[in-house]
């Protein structure tokens, strides 16, 4: 992703021009989404932890795990990438490393949250948050550490569940003053809370649409509520897991995929999506003589 695309995305966010970002978690999902013409992609921490480690999203993925996957997706996508960066992976030095690492990897922006370590998935029980002043300090370090002002820093608060909506909003206000470009109040419980947060802030807002505590609403309604970004982290990996399950169940039951009811991408379509035509064109252009060719025989 070039700097111009990062700048274009940052300008759009500052204008509060609403857009949606699909959740991607590996290079197959990223390849599919990248061809769709979305404004941005969103690298989901839940999806990466599940697909890469096969574990729940409870802080088990390290900075190296996540920045590596983020860099891989960013390098192989034309669409700007916004990425989950959990708590910044530690103290203030870790936050600085996270900002510098994600930015150098080609990511367009990230969010860090105010949970204690080890963090938990935002829509699961048992979350705890750090003091507001500690998160404010992290955000100040994050803003100071980025090379470009177009690298978007999103401040997420998980205080809604343990401390209530009013405290979550007070924290978000403090995070805006600390320099966050976008505010993200996680795990809003119902449409009324979504409307309240949208009205309360004169700042770009991100909403996480999961279909759990936070209901799925039409994009136009989210725009009217005051949101700038709507992310859909689990839509693709939830569908993918169910499809894979269906294929394997059919294979186990029937001993083949002849009557498998699950739709699948045709082989040549998959080859094209993954870039085989470019490889074949390269090989055709630079084809080498086979061993035992006429030149070698003459020697």
* pLDDT tens digits, one per residue of 185-228: 999 999 999 999 999 999 999 999 987 789 999 999 999 999 99
Count of the separate structural domains present in the chain? 1
Whether residue 299 has pLDDT greater than 70: no
Instruction: Give residue 298's pLDDT band: very low, low, confident or very high (50, 70, 90).
Output: very low
Q: C-alpha 284: how far from its chain's center?
A: 37
254 in a structural domain = no
Burial class (CB in 10 A: 0-12, 13-18, 19+), 240: middle
| pLDDT, mean over the chain | 94
Separation between Cα atoms, residue 198 and residue 190, nearest integer Å: 13
* pLDDT tens digits, one per residue of 241-280: 999 999 999 999 999 999 999 999 999 999 999 999 999 9
28 in a structural domain = yes
In 3D, which of 156, 223, 227 has the Cα closest to residue 198? 227
Overall average pLDDT of the 156-171 stretch? 97
Structure tokens, 287? 């084809």
Separation between Cα atoms, residue 68 and residue 233, nearest integer Å: 19
Separation between Cα atoms, residue 199 and residue 152, nearest integer Å: 22
193 in a structural domain = yes
Residue 289's pLDDT is 60
- Beta carbons within 10 angstroms of residue 231's beta carbon: 25
* Catalytic annotation, residues: 42, 57, 84, 86, 111, 113, 121, 156, 186, 208
71 in a structural domain = yes
266 in a structural domain = no
Residue 223's pLDDT is 98
Report the percent of the chain where pLDDT is more than 70: 95
Overall average pLDDT of the 77-99 stretch? 97
Identify the residue with better confidence: 57 or 175: 175
* pLDDT tens digits, one per residue of 272-297: 999 999 999 999 999 876 555 555 54
Residue 57's pLDDT is 86
C-alpha distances out from residue 31 to 38, 70, 89, Å: 12, 13, 27
pTM: predicted TM-score of the whole model, two decimal places: 0.92
Residue 121's pLDDT is 79
Type and span of the H or E element at 200: helix 191-200
75 in a structural domain = yes
* Sequence-ordered list of residues with C-beta below 8 angstroms from that of 23, at least 6 positions apart, any chain: 29, 42, 43, 44, 47, 231, 232, 233, 234, 235, 236, 237
CB 199 within 8 A of CB 223: no
Residue 125's pLDDT is 81
Provide the pairing of β-strand 41-43 with 19-24.
parallel
> What DSSP string runs through 242-297?
HHHHHHHHHHHHHSSSTT--S----HHHHHHHTTHHHHHHHHHHTPPPPTT-HHHH
255 in a structural domain = no
CB 200 within 8 A of CB 180: no
- Beta carbons within 10 angstroms of residue 251's beta carbon: 13
Residue 297's pLDDT is 46
Domain carrying residue 111? 3-240
Overall average pLDDT of the 92-100 stretch? 98
Alpha helices by DSSP H, 146-190:
160-163, 165-177
CATH number for the domain that contains residue 214: 3.20.20.60
CA R_g for the chain: 22
207 in a structural domain = yes
């Amino acid at each position: 992703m070039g700097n111009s695309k990062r700048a274009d995305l940052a300008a759009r966010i500052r204008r509060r021009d609403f857009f949606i970002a699909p959740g991607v978690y590996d290079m197959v999902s990223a390849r599919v989404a990248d061809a769709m013409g979305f404004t941005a992609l969103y690298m989901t921490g839940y999806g990466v932890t599940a697909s890469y480690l096969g574990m729940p999203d409870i802080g088990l993925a390290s900075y190296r795990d996540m920045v590596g996957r983020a860099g891989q997706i960013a390098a192989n996508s034309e669409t700007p990438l916004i990425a989950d960066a959990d708590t910044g992976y530690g103290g203030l030095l870790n936050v600085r490393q996270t900002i510098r690492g994600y930015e150098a990897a080609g990511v367009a922006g990230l969010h860090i949250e105010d949970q204690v370590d080890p963090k938990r998935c935002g829509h699961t029980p048992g979350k705890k948050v750090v003091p507001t002043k500690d998160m404010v300090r992290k955000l100040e370090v994050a803003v100071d550490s980025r090379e470009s002002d177009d690298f978007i820093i999103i401040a997420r608060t998980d205080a809604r569940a343990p401390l209530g909506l009013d405290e979550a909003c007070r924290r978000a206000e403090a995070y805006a003053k600390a320099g966050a470009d976008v505010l993200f109040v996680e795990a809003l419980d119902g449409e009324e809370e979504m409307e309240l947060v949208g009205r309360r802030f004169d700042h770009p807002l991100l909403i996480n649409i999961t279909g759990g505590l936070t209901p799925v609403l039409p994009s136009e309604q989210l725009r009217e509520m005051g949101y700038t970004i709507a992310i859909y982290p689990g839509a693709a990996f939830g569908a993918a897991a169910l499809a894979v399950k269906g294929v394997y169940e059919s294979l186990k039951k029937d001993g083949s995929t002849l009557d498998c009811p699950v739709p699948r991408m045709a082989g040549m379509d998959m080859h094209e999506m993954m870039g085989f035509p470019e490889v074949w064109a390269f090989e055709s252009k630079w084809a080498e003589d086979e061993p035992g060719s006429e030149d070698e025989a003459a020697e």
